[in-house]
Amino acid sequence: MKRNLLIILVGVSILGCSFNDSAKNTNVNDIKNVKNVTIRSGSQVTKYQVNSHNLITSSSYQNTYGAVNSRSYLYDDTKELNTIIKENSVTGRDYFYITTVKNRSNNQITQKIKSTSDSRGTKKELTVNYIYDDNGKLLGMIQTDANGNVIAKGVNN
Amino acid sequence: MKYVFTGKIKSAVFIVFLFLLNISAFSNSSLRDTIMDFNNNVIDFSETGLMDNVRSGEIVQLSPLDLKVGSIFIDVDGIAKKVVRIEEVGNEIIIDTIQPEIREVFEFYRIPEQTINLTIDDHLQMDSLPQGSVILQDTRGVAVSKTVSFSKEVGNDDVSVELEARANLDITASVGAELPYVKIDTRGTWKPWKWKIKQYNGYAKGDFTYDLGLLGTLTVKAEYEKEIDIPIFALTTGPGIDIGVGLASKTSIEGSITLKNELTFNLTGNVGLTCGLEGLGPFAKPINVKTTGSTNFQVKNELSLKAEVELKEKVYLGLWVKMFGFSIVEADAGGGPYLSFEAEVKGWVEYNTATNPKFTKGWSASGSGEIGVFAEINASAFNGAVGGEVWSTKFPFVTLEASTGSPSKSILPIEQPNLISPYNL
């Protein structure tokens, strides 16, 4: 009887550890424990998978011409997105890399450089600068490309 | 590099920075010096945009799980969307969206006036090409351009349309756009009642010059009413601000038909729309809408068909200036043959606006009905809120009256239409 109780206790303990491990999953690139999100816009549909760290791990949609565009997302240990692998059912695979620059003294992100090449092999680089006030609060960000095109987002003033 | 600013202007510095950018016109294959300033609440899942978010002075990463009813976001397909409904079914979240108002997405945008040459070399959307397409060097004339050779088929046992063709396409787009904005001149005083507030209206402009040549075979087999739109391929400047042109074929069938059509189609001309834009609330209102269009075209059809049918077969160019899915200016220009009869036809018909006589033929037919060509140009702005038909016409070639033997044909007089038709709303 004692022996049976001991076996049950050990079993419960192992199961408990296993559940605990699952709850504290530290793999930011976990693609097993994901939620599926489907976004519908008329007949158009995009699909995402989001893991327990609230990070997008994959997305896909079909364009007007029938080509399926899939993406896989990879993050570094600090949950910063660093690679997007883009797969197009017609043109094949492309990589999109993001390099993050941080201020060593306060660990604030100051710049991100995104580099990619399109299906013709033309390389493109986008630079995002992060703008802070002197209290260290982020005001916004400005993305520029080689042609002087700007995309901005931040506090509306 | 870290930017640090002091004083009251610090939170507005990057907006001012946008206005200080050099704005000039270029003729190029890529857009230059455009400004897209998103509202801070817009979430962006597209890697070519800004995927980070600012909340209470901190960077925040958001996922689709953070979307709420009313949230506005740029989807991974580059289209701006607004959440209207969220439903959870098991492990799946289903989010229904609509298109938001333009002001809900942008605090400001500016596309300085510039001209873009869209070419197969630089702008062909590779994944739009039908499988097995070949890009050929075309050395006709002085200019060296590219031709796309393709085959596209849609349909099933009841209705099928197949287009096998070669197309060369040359597009010049002259574009520009700006949202209305307000500028406050403090006139050197701290007293707000002495400040001068000036409102600047926005505008939108899209002017396209096109030259399309298409040589191909269209085969239609149908048994019932159907409209089949076949997108063939597109030239585009890419995601975000998307200036593009798509070649497409639209076939409307009512009845039964077996048609083989050797088609020569040349379309050259211009279509454009300009309008002002006023209002600072969420609903910016287009004003003073003006559309223009002119076209020359040649259609030669070598037909072999048996039909009890009404058929309209349109080869057309769809032209657009879009921003994250918002249609700023859209237009289409095209045409083709139309048939409305119970008949059998074998032979060819041709209409060419550049020759005299414009209409020539060599065919035999039996049955009754009418055959001709049509052409139309449409232009609209702000997702179709304004605009419409710029010009359209039908050129009936022949009215068939006899049902047996040699048909009595009455060739109707064809008048040259007014091809330039400014259209004011």
- Window from A15-19, B166-170, B198-202 with minimum mean pLDDT: A15-19
Q: CB–CB of A155 and B40 under 8 A?
A: yes
pLDDT (average), residues B245-267: 79
Question: Are A102 and A154 in the same domain?
Answer: yes
Determine, for residues A154 and B54 on separate chains, whether the beta-carbon distance falls below 8 Å.
yes
3-state secondary structure string across chain B: CCEEECCHHHHHHHHHHHHCCCCCCCEECCCCCCEEEECCCCEECCCCCCCCEEECCEEECCCHHHCCCCCEEECCCCCEEEEEEEEEECCEEEEEEECCCHHHHEEEEEEEEEEEEECHHHHECHHHCCCCCEEEEECCCCCCEEEEEEEEEEECCCEEEEEEEEEEEEEEEEEEEECCEEEEECCCCCCHHHCEEEEECEEEEEEEEEEEEEEEEEEEEECCCEEEEEEEEEEECCCCEEEEEEEEEEEEEEEEEEEEEEEEEEEEEEEEEEEEEECCCCCCEEEEEEEEEEEEEEEEEEEEEEEEEEEEEEEEEEEEEEECCEEEEEEEEEEEEEEEEEEEEEEEEEEECCCCCCEEEEEEEEEEEEEEEEEEEEEEECCCCEEEEEEEEEEEEEEECCCCCCCCEEECCCCCCCCCCCEEC
Is A91 in a helix, a strand, or coil? coil
| Same-domain check for residues A40 and A78 | yes
For strands A56-62 and A68-75, give the pairing.
Answer: antiparallel
Query: How far is residue B134's CA from residue B77's CA, in Å, rounded to a whole number?
Result: 27
Predicted local confidence at residue B1, as pLDDT: 37
Q: Which of residues 139-198 of B touch A (CB under 8 A)?
A: none
Shared domain check, A146 and A118: yes
Mean pLDDT throughout A136-154? 93
Average pLDDT over residues B369-374: 76
The whole-number average pLDDT for the span B358-373 is 71
pLDDT value of position B416: 35
User: Nearest Cα to B116, choosing from B206, B203, B204, B177?
Assistant: B206
Q: Cβ A65–B54 below 8 Å, yes or no?
A: no
Residue of B nearest to A120 (CA): B126
By the 8 A CB rule, do B266 and B275 touch? no
Identity of the highest mean pLDDT range in A16-25, B70-79, B208-217? B70-79
Residue A110 is part of which domain span? 92-157
pLDDT of residue A157: 53
* Peptide bond preceding B231 in cis form (omega within 30 of 0): no
Write out pLDDT tens, residues B400-415. 654 333 434 444 333 3
> A148, B66: Cβ pair inside 8 Å?
no
State yes or no: pLDDT of B33 exceeds 90.
Answer: yes
Residue A5 lies in a domain: no
Which two three-digit tokens encode residue B37? Answer: 């300033």
Q: Is A119 in Cβ contact with B13 (below 8 Å)?
A: no
Residues ≥6 apart with Cβ < 8 Å to B387: B273, B289, B291, B330, B378, B379, B380, B381, B423, B425
- A49 domain-assigned: yes
Which residue is closest to A49 within chain B, CA to CA? B64
Is the pLDDT at B6 greater than 60? The verdict is no
Residue B87 touches partner A, C-beta closer than 8 Å: no
Q: Cβ–Cβ of B126/A91 closer than 8 Å?
A: yes
Higher pLDDT, B400 or A116: A116
Can you give the pLDDT at residue B76?
95
Interface contact B11-A90, CB threshold 8 A:
no
Domain ranges of chain B: 8-109, 115-424
In this model, does residue B145 exceed pLDDT 70? no
Indicate which of B33, B51, B110, B235 best probes the interface with A, i.e. most A CBs within 10 Å of its own CB: B51
Residue whose C-alpha is closest to residue A129's, from B41, B13, B76: B13
User: A141-147 contacts: CB < 8 A, separation 24 or more?
Assistant: A141/B50, A141/B52, A141/B54, A142/B14, A142/B17, A142/B18, A143/B49, A143/B50, A147/B28, A147/B30, A147/B31, A147/B32, A147/B33
A45 part of contact set with chain B, CB < 8 Å: no
Per the CB < 8 Å rule, is B31 touching A149?
A: yes
Looking at the predicted structure, is the pLDDT value of residue A85 above 90? yes
Q: Is the dihedral of CA B320, B324, B325, B326 positive or negative?
A: negative
A144 within domain boundaries? yes
Q: Does a structural domain hold residue A146?
A: yes
Task: Residue A100: name the closest of A72, A60, A130 by CA.
Answer: A130
A44 vs B contacts (CB less than 8 Å): 77, 79
pLDDT at residue B266, as a whole number: 80
**Polymer length in residues for chain B:** 425
Tell me which residue of B370, B366, B296 sits closest to B337, measured CA to CA. B370
Residue A46 near chain B (CB below 8 Å)? yes
Report the pLDDT value the prediction gives residue A48, as an integer from 0 to 100.
98
Taking all residues of chain B, what is their mean pLDDT, rounded to a whole number?
76
Can you give the pLDDT at residue B383? Answer: 82
According to the model, what pLDDT value does residue B160 have?
A: 72
Contact with chain A for residue B127, Cβ under 8 A: yes
- Whether residue A9 lies within 8 A of chain B, CB to CB, comes out as no
B92 contacts chain A (CB < 8 A) = yes
A-chain CB neighbours of B127 within 8 Å are 63, 65, 67, 69, 88-91, 119
Residue A32 contacts B where some CB pair is shorter than 8 Å: no
A110 and A74 within one domain = no
Q: What is each CA distance from B256 to A21, B217, B259, B262, B316, in whole angstroms? A: 66, 19, 10, 19, 24
The C-alpha of A50 sits at a distance from chain B's nearest C-alpha, in angstroms, of 7
What residue of A is the nearest CA neighbor of B45? A56
Is B408 within 8 Å of B402 (Cβ atoms)? yes
Residue A6 lies in a domain: no
Answer whether residue B92 shows pLDDT above 50.
yes
- Could you give the number of structural domains in chain A? 2
B233 shares contact with chain A (CB less than 8 Å):
yes
B1·A84 Cβ contact <8 A: no
Q: Which residue has the higher pLDDT, A80 or B192?
A: A80
In chain A, residues with a C-beta closer than 8 Å to the C-beta of B129 are 65, 90
Q: How far is B62 from chain A (nearest CA, A)?
A: 7
Whole-number Å distance between alpha carbons of B182 and A25? 50
- Both A97 and A156 in one domain: the answer is yes
Q: Is B164 exposed, middle or buried (0-12, 13-18, 19+ CB in 10 A)?
A: middle
Q: From the list B42, B53, B76, which residue is nearest A61 (CB)?
A: B76
A86 with A96, same domain? no
Distance from the Cα of B259 to chain A's closest Cα (Å) equals 25
Asked if A67's CB is within 8 angstroms of B76's CB, the reply is no
**Are residues A122 and A155 located together in one domain of the fold?**
yes
Chain B residues touching residue A36 (CB < 8 angstroms): 91-93
pLDDT, average across residues B278-292: 79
